[in-house]
Structure 1
């Protein structure tokens, strides 16, 4: 019996635990979900709920009711500033495996940032440190996340530029990093070691 329960944990066959929460770290049904969202007591991954404020969402609205186009260069620079700022702050607590920033618009994923550390201990120190702090004049909401394998949580169609659900997809649309910026972050990582 225990083997059977272990084999279905986190899958659609599991009628007790939410498989979506297990894969994504957030559920589209939120507290109204009929299944359990078990937050791990310890994890390598910290979820910062709605931390990244996408500049496209702050764009002024035109006469047609649609947001006015933003300068993509300026938006990318703002994102890189945010990413580097977060990377430097989090790397103080330990080695970071990766930082994942959601570009989705759906309520359960909008602005979510996942910081995956190499060790649970580093993540727990970071979580304790950020509790009660503010970023960009907003209270930081952080929690442990069950997600450690981001291949299962990302939208493969988005990576192939074929996702027809757009920003309202229920799987992560991760904000891409330019190669030059990725190299800069990689060099920061090396210098920390």
Structure 2
């Protein structure tokens, strides 16, 4: 059964093939006369196609030739441009090289000039140090000229009135007026040297009273006395101190400023050279020379009577009252200082040699002993009065707090009843 199907497929396929062959032969069969015409037609068609191909080739060849000319023109322009750029680059490189050589020569000349200037400055500094040493030792009467030069912050502006009177200004060197700093003078200024909790925290809001309940002016003054007898012997090692003033202003530019006036200019220079940049109380000292017209113009006249209208914002000096007068003998000052232990606040500078002058030792007379006893008695009375004032102030403060609490409770009750 299966073989018959396969045979039938084969027979049908062969029949279809014979039919296709017969039709192809019929299509290809052309009579002789028609064949010549067909042959001529085919030749004409081929000739036409050849002409069309040649014409198209000619058009394409012209297009190519035109494009080639354009590309060659562009290439020539590009080459010309590159040559110009290369020439410009070479000129720029030559110019840079010439400038570099000039700069190199200029640097060499500057270095040589700087070396010459450094050498001149070194010789001038050596001469200045030698003259300064001679001046400090007393061989020269006049100080070196370099120390007499004045420095002005704004030379073309009028002088600052507050700086002229107090040697301090709240605006510093940013002030619109002129600040004149002397090269050297008899007065030294140590800015913010005396630091105390009562001065640094007194400008808090008036309603924040808790922070200052345990501090009053008597505590500040007691610490000031320790500070006074601690620094006075150190400054007197270099010469006679005529005046020593410590500010108790609350403004930052005046707070804790310490003024030291020497009787001799040479002593002030020696003190500045030895104590500048030393450490005291954990702070590095910054000493500067200052020039005051008079202490009367610098110190606020109403501060002692507590009638200053400016209060804490006053820009004149509010100073502590010195526990002793500086006209007392050296022995009395040293004896008074023995009541206080040598403070740890002073620290020696490792890279400075401090010239120490031995204090003159004199025999105490009866008048000096009596004067020392009066000073001790006065100090005891001041301590006793301070303690009494402190107790009285604490009691009044507690009464005020109790009254405030009591009135506050009663006002709350009245408000509750009204509601």
**What TM-score do you get using the length of structure 1 for normalisation?**
0.80
Give the number of the structure whose residues are more often strand, by fraction.
1
Tell me if the contact between 2:243 and 2:326 (Cα under 8 Å) persists in the aligned partners. Answer: no
Kept after mapping to 2: 8 A contact 1:116/1:148: no
Higher helix share: 2
Aligned partners of 1:40, 1:159: CA distance in 2, in Å? 30
Which secondary structure state, in structure 2, belongs to the residue aligned with residue 103 of structure 1? coil
Pick aligned residue for 1:33 from 171, 175, 183: 175
- Give the C-alpha shift of residue 52 in structure 1: 0.7
Q: Can you give the 5+ residue segments of structure 1 that lack an aligned partner in the other structure?
A: 1-13
Instruction: Describe the shift of the 1:184–1:124 C-alpha distance in structure 2 as closer, same or farther (beyond 3 A).
Output: closer
Match of 1:68 among 194, 197, 212: 212
Point out the more displaced range, 45-54 or 158-167.
158-167
CA contact (8 A) 1:103 1:167 kept: no
TM-aligned CA deviation for residue 185 of structure 1:
8.0
Contact 1:97 1:117 in 2 (8 A): yes
Q: 1:130 to 1:22 in 2, by over 3 A?
A: same
Measure the CA separation in 2 of the matches of 1:110 and 1:183: 23
Residue number in structure 2 paired with 1:160: 305
Over 3 Å counting, the alpha-carbon distance change for 1:21 and 1:72 in structure 2 is closer
Matches within 5 A, 1:83-102: 83-102=228-247
- Secondary structure (helix, strand or coil) at the match of 2:254 reads coil
Paired position in structure 2 for 1:117? 262
Bigger radius of gyration among the two:
2
Partner residue in 1 for 2:295: 150
Shift of 1:147: 1.6
Q: Which protein has greater RCO, CA pairs closer than 8 Å, 6+ apart?
A: 1
Contact 1:84 1:185 (8 Å CA) reproduced: no
- Pairs aligned (count): 177
Report the Cα distance in structure 2 between the residues aligned to 1:165 and 1:174, rounded to whole angstroms: 15
Task: Quote how far apart the aligned CAs of 1:19 are.
Answer: 2.5
